Amino acid sequence: MCSDFDPAESVLAHLDAGTRRELARKWIMAMRDDLASIDASLAAEDHARVGFLAHRMAGSSATVGARTLAGCCRDLETAARNGQPIDRDAVHTVRRHLADAERQLELTTLSGDKYTNREDAPP
């Protein structure tokens, strides 16, 4: 799992449990869609689109506290925007860190254990 995943420092920490769960589900769906779009954009050799999608993924990852994933997305964005060849391993790394972040986000949004400073956190 992402060792530096910290949703307690994210925007999610300031939300009630129901809203947090809903946003987590929407984030996961959006990230999966963007990653599928990156795959399609790579196949079409549309590096500008890859850069745009990677930028969006980096920002939303940072917002939920998935710092490793955000960094991987920024690396992919930089490569795409600089016209560098995009290594399939870089996309695989993003995919792997997304899966890690999803698991960790699901654990924290369901259990509330990262939100102990919140009044809606479990005792």
CATH number of the domain encompassing residue 66: 1.20.120
Q: Encoding tokens for residue 91?
A: 């996309």
> Is residue 116 domain-resident?
no
> Is residue 119 domain-resident?
no
> Is residue 21 domain-resident?
yes
> Is residue 73 domain-resident?
yes
Beta bridge partners, 5, equal 66
> Is residue 51 domain-resident?
yes
> Tokens 């102990």 belong to which residue?
116
Per-residue pLDDT tens listing for the chain (123 residues): 334 667 666 777 788 888 888 888 899 999 999 999 999 999 999 999 999 999 999 999 998 889 999 999 999 999 999 989 888 899 999 999 999 988 888 777 755 544 434 444 433
Selection from 75, 64, 58, 74 nearest residue 102 by Cα: 64
Outline where DSSP puts E strands in 29-97: none
Residue span of the structural domain in which 83 resides: 7-111
Tally of structural domains, the chain: 1
> Is residue 1 domain-resident?
no
Residues 28, 102 contacting (CB under 8 angstroms): yes
> Is residue 120 domain-resident?
no
Query: How far is residue 44's CA from residue 46's CA, in Å, rounded to a whole number?
Result: 5
> Is residue 2 domain-resident?
no
